[in-house]
Structure 1
C-alpha cells in the first residue's frame, strides 16, 4: 500500500462529473489497484475513489497546470469502464509505502451461528428442564435452528437471530405450520430468540403464540461480569 499526504485537487469523470478543490488530503493506493482519497473527516468514507481494477499513470503537468503550481498529474483509469480520476498534486507533504501482505479476513463475534451454539449448550435459558433434541433440525423448507423439548416433553422450535425483526417471526411461523402437521412432533410451540427484538416483531410473535427470548450474548459467553455492572 502506498500512502501519500498531499495538497491536491481531484477531477472525476464517468457516470457523473465531480470536482474536489485544492486542499490537503490523504491518497491511498492499494495493492489491488484501487485508489481512495480521504479528508480529515467524514468517518470511513472517502471523498472519492476508484475501485479495482484500475491503472495509475504519472504525467508531467501542462504549462497551464505548472503555472498554477501543479507539480505532478496522476491519471487513474478504470480497466472496465470509462471512469477516471485526474489528481493534480501541488505538493507532497509526506509519503510512505508498505507491503501489508495477505489479510486473514474479518472474524465476526456474536453472529447467529455463535448464538445458536451457545444456546444449545445453555438450553435451560429457554426454561427449566428444557433439553436439546437437535441443532439445525431439518424441515422441507429449511432447518430450524434448535429443536428442544420442554420439561413436559413437548417439542419447541427455536429461531435465533442477532436482531429480531418481523421477517424472523414470519420464518418461524412457517416452520411451526409445517412441523405441526407431523403427528410425531405436534404440538410444537415456538420461541423467537435474539439479542434484540424489535417492538413490532414482539407484538407479531406474541399475537401468534410465539414466546420471545432476549439473549445476553456477553453473559452466555462468560465475558459479562455482573460485579462490574453499575446497575
Structure 2
C-alpha cells in the first residue's frame, strides 16, 4: 500500500493488522528493472523506498501483479472519536434520571479549587451529588472523585455531597474501592443514552 503522504506499507493476507514492514515519510519510491539474479528468481519489478532523512531503505521485489488500483479519498477529515467522555457527560446531564428517579442536573463542569466535577446534580431529596464520568473507570478515577468529595463537603452550601462514579466499563478494583468509600458505581450504556437501544430487539 502506497499512501498519499509517501508512506509505504507491506501487509500479509491475514493475521495482525500491523504491516509486515513499512517506511514512513518523508521518503521516495523508485521503480527499476530486476537484476539478472532477481529475474531468474521470478521477480518482474523492484521497488526501492528510500527515506530522505536517513540511510534507511526498503526494497520490495515483485513477482506478480494481481491488481493495481488507486483510490482518491479526498481531504483527510482527521480522527473523530465517538463516545468520548465529553459525549457521555453531555448525554448523562441531559438524561440525569439514569442515576435514579427524581435526579436533576445542577450544572456540568462544576468548578472546584482542584478542578471541575463532571456533573453536579441533586437527588430526589434535594441532596448534592457529584458525578465523575469515565469511559473506562479505574482506580485513578475513584481517587479523583474522592478528592472532589472531600473538598465539596467542606462547603456548607453543598454539604452533604455524595458521589457517583459512572463509566461504560468499571474495573473490579475500582468498583471495590469506590463502594468501600461510599461512592455509588453506575455502568453507562452509550447507545441507550443516545436513544439507539431498542429493548424490543434484545433477547434479554
Q: What TM-score, normalized by structure 2, do the two folds share?
A: 0.92
Give me the whole-angstrom Cα distance separating, in 1, the residues matched to 2:132 and 2:83.
15
1:135-160 deviations in Å (ceiling 9; x for gaps): 01112222111001222222111001
RCO higher in structure (CA 8 A, sep ≥6): 1
- Which residues in structure 2 correspond to 1:53-92 (within 5 Å)? 53-92=26-65
Q: What TM-score, normalized by structure 1, do the two folds share?
A: 0.82
Q: Does 128-137 or 89-98 show the bigger shift?
A: 89-98
Q: Report whether the alignment pairs 1:144 with 2:117.
A: yes
Q: Which runs of 5+ in 1 are unaligned?
A: 1-27
Q: Does 97-106 or 51-60 show the bigger shift?
A: 97-106
- How far residue 91 of structure 1 moved from its aligned partner, in angstroms, is 2.4
Q: Secondary structure at the match of 1:138?
A: strand
Q: Report whether the alignment pairs 1:167 with 2:140.
A: yes
Give me the whole-angstrom Cα distance separating, in 2, the residues matched to 1:139 and 1:132.
17
Give me the whole-angstrom Cα distance separating, in 2, the residues matched to 1:69 and 1:33.
27
Q: Secondary structure at the match of 2:68?
A: strand
1:200-227 deviations in Å (ceiling 9; x for gaps): 1110000111111111222221111111
Residue 92 of structure 2: aligned partner: 119
- How far residue 45 of structure 1 moved from its aligned partner, in angstroms, is 1.7
Counterpart selection for 2:19 from 46, 68, 71: 46
Q: Which runs of 5+ in 2 are unaligned?
A: none
Indicate the structure with greater strand content.
1
Residue 135 of structure 1: aligned partner: 108
- How far residue 67 of structure 1 moved from its aligned partner, in angstroms, is 2.7
RMSD of aligned residue pairs (Cα, Å): 1.6
Q: Secondary structure at the match of 1:133?
A: strand
- How far residue 121 of structure 1 moved from its aligned partner, in angstroms, is 0.9
Give me the whole-angstrom Cα distance separating, in 2, the residues matched to 1:95 and 1:210.
58
C-alpha spacing 1:179/1:81, structure 2 compared with 1 (3 Å): farther
C-alpha spacing 1:80/1:177, structure 2 compared with 1 (3 Å): farther
C-alpha spacing 1:228/1:141, structure 2 compared with 1 (3 Å): same
- How far residue 105 of structure 1 moved from its aligned partner, in angstroms, is 3.3
